[in-house]
């Protein structure tokens, strides 16, 4: 697939981050959505851009602390006496 | 219980007056986030643990300088990012020079990958291999962009908090965030685009 970038596509790219964060001005937002309805390639970029952020956001919840990390940390900080709580 | 004690706010006054129990509470509250930041910045658990320990050691040493203008958490993030960047620089001294143009330039690279991989089955995104691909992609980001992306999109800080944690302007945070996200989109498109092809050829 090839994508000929028009000046509009370029403008769009600059505001895509604020668009997905919901902080883009209303008029710019409407203009962008109008463009997305006409430009398949930009729609794909926006969709995969959103999905990328979503995947990273949801990956942050997992990942438990490996065994021993907390204990070694409390020891290093000389906080052994408080290490029992958790 | 852990949950209850971590819900009440950390007392800035208690921290400043050298209350060790309160500091221990801050350590417990912040450890998962600071460890995760180290892990995403450096890409391995040993370095993540170093970042974690150094962050709290530095925090203890610099409690006197902490003025409470930002939250204790933002303050810790700031120390942790600096610790992580220092460790990265120590690992490869050429980084700073190589990083400069990417860190400061506003050039946006036009998207190259145009495969719509959003339609892959949800289970495809949850595999160990996919998670590895996500982590590997972060490591390809220039450090300055990586720090912004991790704080904003993984740790969930606001633009304002990210600015405070990194000492950057609003424009700089937004510009780095945009470039980081676009870069990662390209990387993930290569990976998941490949998965999509396999899916179709099944």
Residue B102: inside a domain, yes or no? no
pLDDT on residue B1: 34
Q: Which residues of chain A lie closer than 8 angstroms to B4, CB-CB?
A: none
- Are B168 and B198 contained in the same domain? yes
The CATH code of the domain that includes B77 is 1.10.1740.10
Block mean pLDDT (10 aa), chain A, length 86: 62 90 94 92 96 92 84 95 76
Question: Domain containing B13: what range?
Answer: 1-93
pLDDT tens per residue, range B160-194:
999 999 999 999 999 999 999 999 999 999 999 99
> Measured between CA atoms, how close is A73 to chain B, in angstroms?
6
Residue B101: inside a domain, yes or no? no
Last residue of a domain, one of B51, B69, B93: B93
pLDDT on residue B105: 58
Residue B147: inside a domain, yes or no? yes
The count of domains in chain B is 2
B56 with A82: Cβ contact below 8 A: no
CB-closest option in A1, A45, A82 to B21:
A82
Which domains, and CATH codes, for chain A? 7-79 (1.10.10)
Count other Cβ atoms within 10 Å, centred on residue B108: 14
Q: How would residue B8 be classed by pLDDT, with cut points 50, 70 and 90?
A: confident
> Measured between CA atoms, how close is B195 to chain A, in angstroms?
14
| Helix, strand, coil content of chain A in percent (nearest 5) | 70, 0, 30
- Are B6 and B62 contained in the same domain? yes
A44 with B35: Cβ contact below 8 A: no
pLDDT on residue A23: 94
More confident call, B29 vs B102: B29
- Report the share of chain B in percent with pLDDT over 90: 75
Last residue of a domain, one of B93, B115, B137: B93
- Reported for B13-22, long-range contacts at CB under 8 A and 24+ positions apart, including other chains, are B15/B63, B15/B66, B15/B72, B16/B63, B16/B64, B16/B66, B16/B68, B18/B63, B20/A79, B20/A81, B20/A82, B21/A82
């Amino acid at each position: 697939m090839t994508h000929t970038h028009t000046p509009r596509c370029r403008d769009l790219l600059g505001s895509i981050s604020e668009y997905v964060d919901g902080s883009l001005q209303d008029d710019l937002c409407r203009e962008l959505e109008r463009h997305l309805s006409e430009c398949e390639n930009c729609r794909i970029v926006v969709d995969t851009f959103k999905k990328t952020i979503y995947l990273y956001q949801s990956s942050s919840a997992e990942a438990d602390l490996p065994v021993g990390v907390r204990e070694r940390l409390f020891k290093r900080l000389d906080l052994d006496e408080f290490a029992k709580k958790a | 219980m852990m949950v209850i004690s971590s819900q009440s706010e950390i007392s800035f006054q208690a921290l400043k007056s050298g209350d060790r129990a309160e500091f221990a509470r801050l350590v417990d509250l912040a450890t998962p986030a600071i460890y995760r930041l180290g892990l995403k910045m450096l890409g391995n658990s040993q370095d993540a643990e170093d970042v974690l320990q150094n962050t709290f050691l530095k925090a203890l040493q610099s409690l006197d300088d902490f003025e409470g203008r930002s939250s204790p958490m933002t303050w810790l993030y700031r120390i942790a990012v600096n610790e992580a960047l220092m460790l990265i620089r120590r690992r490869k001294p050429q980084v700073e020079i190589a990083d400069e143009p990417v860190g400061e330039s506003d050039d946006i690279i036009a998207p190259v990958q145009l495969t719509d991989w959003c339609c892959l089955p949800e289970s495809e995104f949850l595999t160990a291999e996919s998670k590895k691909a996500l982590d590997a992609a972060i490591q390809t980001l220039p450090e300055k962009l990586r720090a912004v992306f991790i704080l904003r999109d993984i740790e969930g800080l606001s633009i304002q908090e990210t600015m405070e944690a990194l000492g950057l302007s609003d424009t700089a945070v937004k510009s780095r965030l945009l470039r980081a996200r676009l870069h990662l989109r390209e990387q993930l498109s290569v990976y998941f685009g490949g998965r999509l092809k396999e899916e179709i050829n099944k």
